[in-house]
Structure 1
């Protein structure tokens, strides 16, 4: 029996060469996801440790994982903390400065109030003048009887000295804004000079302010006249005594550093 040439039977195997690039691709994808996770973390130290570990594992090369710019560095985090600390220090320093200015202002206004009160007492004017110091201003209230004839706005000759005395005391503290306010009662005015109490109140505040400003040591830019007419009463207009209290001129020295004022980095300059 003749033997035929026979080929050894071999199993046919599929080409598996694609597995190598596939495994490399998967490795790179895993590395990419890990990098993205590390980039989202805020702990720079842990990111550095992870970067070194994966750089060593993946051929020891210096790849994207070694780039520190992707995550905040420790120096950047320190700078942020230092900036916040500086902001706190700056704010506290500013608040401390404002507190000192408030204290000095309070002392000045208390001193000025004592001078006015002493002047009122020495001249027997307690029924015509009064002072009040609050959180916004030092106010000097002057009855209209001390300054004007009924229905008139021209300051009486014997009352001009009062205005000059007030201006002399104001010149000690020339940096404050001063508001001169005229007020009336609610009885309608009826004369040829004024058509309403508003007109009368404005004219009275203006005339009195002009006498104050005869003092060359006072800055006109700091002064303002306002007329409120009958609309800011301090007493009941239904009685004669109440109407008398409402007819008045108020000289208000305005605070520059009020209690609710917050530090903004700029110290007020006095209202220019």
Structure 2
């Protein structure tokens, strides 16, 4: 469902510059082939909208699932209504958490997300780049493993029967002195034509070269213009996803409402 909403958003592209608390918008060409515009926001109240292009980010999740505050963009995951039953490692009901997309796309660049995430098993907080063609470059924070964070890519081809979920994933440590995803950390995706680098708190921890994305004689390297997507989701079903996320969520112990906080987002463009 989200992919179709992202396709709708691609009809209009905006570049956004922040000058103090004010934004200046300029319409761009629909050709996003080489687009990258420097961008920075700390999420003032006007930086997220509902189904409009009046802000650099648009919410595509249920009303009330997010809020902009002086401390950042808060993304909520609330307990589903009714009785929740767990069977074979999965919950029979899952919550729909907040999802927020940028109204602009980049084609290569360095993106830094300042994020804190709930350390609750079964909850996943994600800061990703995503294309209409289903390319993804991911930062994923698993609440069941708060001392680590995960990186991954997807670039499905016509030959793939399903996404290559675990082929290009990697687990990284959250550094001291705050070795927990529940603390604010800066997560970076630095993407160009030849490699992707992931970093945390200013230190590069993983590099994936384009040629290393070869699988079955086909490259799976993300190469299409992509939007920024921020979200929190309930990974309590199906059982395979729940196992990966250290879930399912035990709602009898977990808070009825959990939140991730995105304090800032920065986009830096390649120098070539």
The answer, yes or no, to whether TM exceeds 0.5 is no
Scaled by the length of structure 2, the TM-score of the pair is 0.28
Q: Which has the higher contact order (CA 8 A, sep 6+)?
A: 2
Scaled by the length of structure 1, the TM-score of the pair is 0.28
Between Structure 1 and Structure 2, the one with more helix by share is 1
